[in-house]
Amino acid sequence: MEGILPLWKPKGMTSHDCVMKIRRIFQTRKVGHTGTLDPEVEGVLPICIGQATKIVPFLTDTKKIYIAEVKLGQTTETEDSYGNIIKEAAVDSFPSEEQIRQTLEMFQGDIVQVPPMYSAVKVNGRKLYEYARANETVERPKRSVHIYDIEYLGCQPESNTIRFKATCSKGTYIRTLCVDIGGKLGFPAHMSFLERIQTGAFTEEEAVTFEQINQAAVQDNLHSLLEPITMGVEHLAKLEVDKTTKEKITHGQKLPRPEQLPATNPFVVMHKSEFLAIYQLHPNNEDEIKAVRVFNG
């Protein structure tokens, strides 16, 4: 059995917990997730099974869409509502809708973030949260991320909260985005709610719960929950090849650079409707393309 399971990750489970549970249910070790979600966050977490595990890095690299909530007046050590409060300020005058919209617009496009101390980013071989738990300080590396779109969804002045939807690149910390939005509005802040409603081509509407998965297992119908591997690489351009070239690709051979290069690098190689491989420009020979992943039938 192989394909992509569009899991709706529940609260209270780590992404790794989900992988372990799926391995037991599907009775295979070839299972991988495509982008970590914090334990207390629910949302779309595509799980790759069988040969689909070969596309994990490509699906991880796709756009994500989140619904998030900023709470003004308090900053926490974890930048979400589960950490200890480290700074407080009264919200005597809640920002106007116009102020909020203008502030959100400031974060659209390329932005620089400093990852939270309670995160899995590695510095000198150790994860930042390991330093944080040991009460050690370390300089955190800045990273550039991209916010494709950020949309104001409403606010609740009585609870000092603002809700928005963000479409962003891999590696974006929504917790940090919430803290920075609050800072621009003049208040300490943290993320009080987060839900991931889309990863790549996989949406909330298509996602399945563990309850549905268990029910399908009882009915011996797990395969019906799996989406095709090609759905995980819809963001990559496609190159169509003939039957002769297909045979070469099956053996992972390098190929001459096509006259018309696909719009993305890497790109998907197809023969009719059959997904053969993922290729890229050869890093050392501009006249060739080389296989990154090959799929066997």
Asked whether the beta carbons of 74 and 182 are under 8 A apart, the reply is no
Strand blocks (E) in 59-188? 64-72, 74-76, 85-88, 109-113, 122-123, 126-127, 143-156, 161-168
Alpha carbons within 13 angstroms on the beta-carbon side of residue 165 total 6
Pick the closest to residue 268 from 236, 243, 232, 241 (CA basis): 236
**How far is CA 203 from each of CA 5, 140, 146, 213, rounded to the nearest angstrom?**
12, 33, 20, 17
Asked whether the beta carbons of 209 and 10 are under 8 A apart, the reply is yes
61 is catalytic: no
Give CB contacts under 8 A, 24+ apart, made by 216-221.
217/25
Catalytic residue among 38, 80, 242, 287: 38
Q: Is 258 helix (H, G, I), strand (E, B) or coil?
A: coil
**How far is CA 7 from each of CA 43, 46, 51, 208, 229, rounded to the nearest angstrom?**
8, 6, 18, 5, 15
Q: What angle, 0 to 180 degrees and rounded to 10, lies between the N-to-C axes of helices 174-185 and 97-105?
A: 130
Q: How many CB atoms lie within 10 A of CB 195?
A: 19
Q: Is 74 helix (H, G, I), strand (E, B) or coil?
A: strand
Where in the sequence numbering do the catalytic residues fall?
38
